[in-house]
Structure 1
Amino acid sequence: MANILERLNITIPIIQAGMAGGITTPELVAAVSNTGALGTIGAGYMHTNKLKEAIQRVKQLTDKPFAVNLFSANLEVFTTDVDEMQALLNKKRKETGIDKQENLVKVNDYLHEKVYLLIKEKVPIVSTAFGALSSVLIERLKENNSILIGMATNVSEAQLLEDMGYDIVVAQGIEAGGHRGTFDIEKYPNGSDIGLIALMQSILDNTSLPVIAAGGIYTRQQLDGLLAMGASGVQMGTRFLLAKEAGTNKTYRRALVKANYQDTVITNVFSGRPARAIKNGFINEIESSGLDVLPFPIQNELTKDLRAAGAEFSISDLQSLWAGQGVGALHKEESVEDIIALFTDKNRMKANLIEHD
């Protein structure tokens, strides 16, 4: 297989995960890319105009390659069938001192517009979660010479990505924080529950794609071991949450520093999709209510204002504190440069990659 460093035009086989929701500031993305690793804008929830601003700001801050991460799932929804869940959430809003919301959810989807923006802006690398892009969009991106990276949580997903023409697959183990990319959550309500080591090996054995390992990675020793197993690199999200350049709010940062390894759970109460987060009061209350959580993105839209209030008013019990199983290793804020320095000297990793390519 082609050397991943040459393919992505990077010097360090580390990808910063495209965490949606404001974490991946242009400053974070550019700082990661400037080290020789690959920064990623998390554009899943972004309006096209905001994404354009973010891309152009990253370009001002770095001349290195960077990626944009998109949700392949259709976010378009309009529904009024939210009465019971909205009633419970309105009680939380009253307690918090924010406005009551009506029983209406409307979400627009900007996937096609965002893909065309990436083509216009000549973004070199595009990654996706929650499925594969349509063949039409893949063809457009390929015409733009974009490299496509897809998230997979089982072998079938990885094989589908390969069949659709993706270039690289990220094996997301159950250890990973936030939303993993599981395609079918009706079949896998808690996400496909395979640990990283078994998942990565199974994808290596059953596809010809370069495999990036993701999930609970926070040490240089893990990186070395995964490269020795045949991974072409690693993707890390949680490890960058305490980066000084990240958009992580202060309350979220404090929760990360205080968390132990056993403090995360997989829950769908914030978004309607299974995601790993530090357990808090909101999770406990919704899960104990007996109400059915509404599907993604309806539940995500319903809880959005409460989560924002949690950030604004420094209430950690209202926030979706996404974190992987390695969160217990995080103890302080660091610059991106300092984080990357913990993982490599570049020559050692390049030699390891060439040996296992």
Structure 2
Amino acid sequence: MSFLNDRLSIELPLIQAGMAGGITTPQLVAAAAEEGALGTIGAGYMGASQLKDDIQRVKQLTDKPFAVNLFAVNLESFSNEIGRMQQFLNGFRSKLEIGHGTDFVKVNDYLHEKVHVVLEEDIRVVSTAFGVLSSFLIQRLKENDVTLIGMATILDEARQLEDAGYDAVVAQGYEAGGHRGTFDINRYPDGSNIGLHVLAQELMDHLTIPVIAAGGIHNKKQVDAFLEMGADAVQVGTKFLVAKEAGTNAAYRRALMKADTGSTKITKVFSGRPARAIRNQFVREVEGSEIAPLPFPIQNQMTKDIRGAGKEFAIADMQSLWAGQGVGAIHEEESAADIIASLVGSNASGAAIESGDDNGLSNGSGR
């Protein structure tokens, strides 16, 4: 428990995954922290001002430590070679009665500004996905005693993180929901297909830094098994999607609770990166069109308005219903405290934090 106590300052070997797109509300992050787990703000698609606001709101709800999750890559992109896909997506927009897409897409990047906010707000744990932060940013964070956790789906990625100075690695198995942290999707077009059990053991056998297990974990027996194997902690995402404090919209929640173990698949149709989602009409029709999704984050930006309308109009078939393979075990909404108690046991002093009406939902990608 020394890594948990000394570096993360948490009581339970559990991390609430930093799911981007408005899911990890300040209420959810604070509730997880109050129970002794590591709550995480999913800041991948946020601007710096929104991140600062969310951090300050969490601090108003708890004095416990929490983390911020960032994308390690530069998201800045521009493309005007989007005509065929945009024309196809306009069919969905017509049915939703929203405006058609433009003939170009521009995506801004706020990574350096968000790192500045992290340092300004004295956040002591940062996790990253999709690669390794630049040596410049790693140095800035390390100079301020920030603990760095990186996501890895193969041993080579984990070694890159360790060599760069990261303090721990999350072993993300094939079972995980949403986007996994695969570095090179040209080499692994559907992401790495290594299951968590094998991946976690391989990383523990070859790394000198702590390993955190993630992917399809939804009950205490699994948590106990990975801790017994030697993992320092587990990271859980999908089960927190139905937390009462989460920003998950009602249609998405219903789809999660209706899904079974075979309901998910790896798809690029929403974002241009492989991600595990519940099959729905959007997945079936875009994949059936045989029009290749644009690269991430262009495709993600192009589908943002459609996904946003799906949320606003409560149409699950038009949303990115990110979910791990353990989704079939989810049958009801629970408080974050009850979810944590079911996984690892609850901090006896943890008090439930009520979720307000303003849950910070954005039009970005959910999970």
TM range (shorter): over 0.9
Mapped partners of 1:225, 1:123: distance in 2: 31
Preserved CA contact (<8 Å) 1:5 1:13: no
Matched, 1:326 2:341: no
Count of matched residue positions in the alignment of Structure 1 and Structure 2? 347
SS in 2 for 1:88: helix
Aligned residues: CA RMSD? 1.0
C-alpha deviation, 1:97, in angstroms = 0.5
Name the counterpart of 1:62: 62
Q: Deviations over 1:2-25 (max 9, x none)?
A: 432332110001000000000000
Name the counterpart of 2:352: none
Preserved CA contact (<8 Å) 2:80 2:103: yes
Mapped partners of 2:23, 2:315: distance in 1: 18
Preserved CA contact (<8 Å) 1:259 1:327: yes
1:168-179 correspondence to structure 2 within 5 Å: 168-179=168-179
Q: Deviations over 1:141-190 (max 9, x none)?
A: 00110000000000000000000000010000000000000000000000
Preserved CA contact (<8 Å) 2:107 2:301: yes
Name the counterpart of 1:355: none
Matched, 1:138 2:147: no
Matched, 1:103 2:103: yes
Preserved CA contact (<8 Å) 1:13 1:232: yes
C-alpha deviation, 1:250, in angstroms = 0.1
The one-letter amino acid paired with 2:343 is F
**Structure 2: segments with no counterpart, 5+ residues:** 348-367
Name the counterpart of 2:183: 183
Name the counterpart of 1:263: 263
Name the counterpart of 1:14: 14
Structure-1-length-normalised TM-score: 0.96
Mapped partners of 2:87, 2:101: distance in 1: 9
Mapped partners of 1:329, 1:100: distance in 2: 38
Preserved CA contact (<8 Å) 2:33 2:64: yes
Name the counterpart of 1:221: 221
Mapped partners of 2:244, 2:210: distance in 1: 31
Name the counterpart of 1:354: none
Name the counterpart of 2:210: 210
Mapped partners of 2:169, 2:2: distance in 1: 14
Mapped partners of 2:207, 2:343: distance in 1: 28
Mapped partners of 1:69, 1:175: distance in 2: 20
The one-letter amino acid paired with 1:192 is S
Larger RCO, structure (CA 8 Å, separation 6 or more)? 2
Preserved CA contact (<8 Å) 1:11 1:346: no
Mapped partners of 2:201, 2:76: distance in 1: 36
Matched, 1:278 2:295: no
Moved more, 33-42 or 96-105: 96-105
Mapped partners of 1:4, 1:243: distance in 2: 24
Identity in percent: 63
SS in 1 for 2:327: helix
Mapped partners of 1:102, 1:239: distance in 2: 36
C-alpha deviation, 1:74, in angstroms = 1.1
Mapped partners of 1:193, 1:5: distance in 2: 32
**Structure 1: segments with no counterpart, 5+ residues:** 348-357
Cα gap change, 1:346/1:304 in structure 2, threshold over 3 Å: closer, same or farther?
closer
Q: Deviations over 1:281-326 (max 9, x none)?
A: 0000000101111000000000000000001011111000000000
Preserved CA contact (<8 Å) 2:340 2:346: no
Mapped partners of 1:263, 1:86: distance in 2: 27
Mapped partners of 1:209, 1:175: distance in 2: 23
Structure-2-length-normalised TM-score: 0.93
Mapped partners of 2:236, 2:337: distance in 1: 14
Name the counterpart of 1:310: 310
C-alpha deviation, 1:343, in angstroms = 2.1
